[in-house]
Structure 1
Amino acid sequence: MDAATQTHLFEPFFTTKPAGKGTGLGLALVYGVVQQSGGQITVQSELLVGTSFDILLPRDNAPVEPTTASNAPVAPLPVTRGSERLLLLEADDVIRKMVAGILTADGYRVYTAPNAAEALALAKDATQPMQLLIAPLAEADATHLARSLLARRASTRLLNVGPAGQGNPFAALPPTQLAHLPKP
């Protein structure tokens, strides 16, 4: 791989595959697991020849304590289910479908659009106002969309997804109404 690709290799959502063929999460996940384990990962690559990854993990010399099987029931995880109406603005088809699928499985009513114009049309056609907008709010068309939703329902919550450090025109909103999820 070339040097430019190597500099972005472990970034979440970075992919060299065509649209719809990859999410760019595989190597980011590997990198995260290695880092959390106190290890290192290195890459050596020669364009049109090949690439190799070396993963170094620390050795743990602590004695292994034998465990005994327990027949005690395991407490179930608390179920968090939603029912709110969400509007998801995401240009990438794979990411949009993946996020919508996860949220729908958790009980949310998810409306999706690849661009702000379609999102605005969905919001206007909805019988009830949206309760949450998930969008890259630093983009001008998404900002217009958010302002339209807030005009219809002032308590609409906003989840700003986008690169860290980009401006946010809604920074004055209280933290209960605005959150940021960095996306490279």
Structure 2
Amino acid sequence: MVKNIIFDIGNVLATFKPKDFLMDLFKNPTLVDQFFEVFFTKLWHEYDQGLYTKEQMVQKGLQKMPDQKEKINKMMDVWTSYVVGIQENLDLIQIYQKKGYKVFILSNLPEDSYIYLKEHYDFIDQVDGGIYSYQLKLIKPDVKIFEALLEKYGLNANECIFIDDTEVNIRAAETLGFYTIWLKDHTQLATLLKENLNEV
């Protein structure tokens, strides 16, 4: 029986579209592709993991694009404001808490984004707990981050349903016995939760 609902943040509770954000910022497709290739690949996963600060990310970018200091600084200064909460999905947190479920977050998230979301939205304080990748220097799909959540809050995987937009993360959770929802379209969250929790 599911007692705990565990949400990812990206494309589940909030949207962040790097290419759209870069285009809005720079208005130059060539520059967008260049920045995307440098930042939004392995480097961003390491940022999520808490391996680099914002300042270190700037330096990493300058190693690849030494002539783009101003734009790199601008990007790193404003990117968090492009993480936008999906209100109808955020509303589900309290809806399910009122039904008696515990609600948690397990997200690959850099500290800068955590601080921004905590300042601009209520949901981080509304949930019953959470683990954010930068805190443990671990990122999904490493099973250790799932195990850390279970241990911290005394949860059993077979009493948890985990919702994420990335298949590899879903598969990692399933190896530990979590129920899962692979969310390919964030507008379907309410419907899929209802179906998976067998609500009439």
Q: Give the TM-score of the pair, scaled to structure 2.
A: 0.35
Q: Give the TM-score of the pair, scaled to structure 1.
A: 0.38
Q: Whose strand fraction is larger, Structure 1's or Structure 2's?
A: 1
Larger radius of gyration: 1
- Which has the higher relative contact order, 1 or 2, with Cα contacts under 8 A spaced 6 or more apart? 2
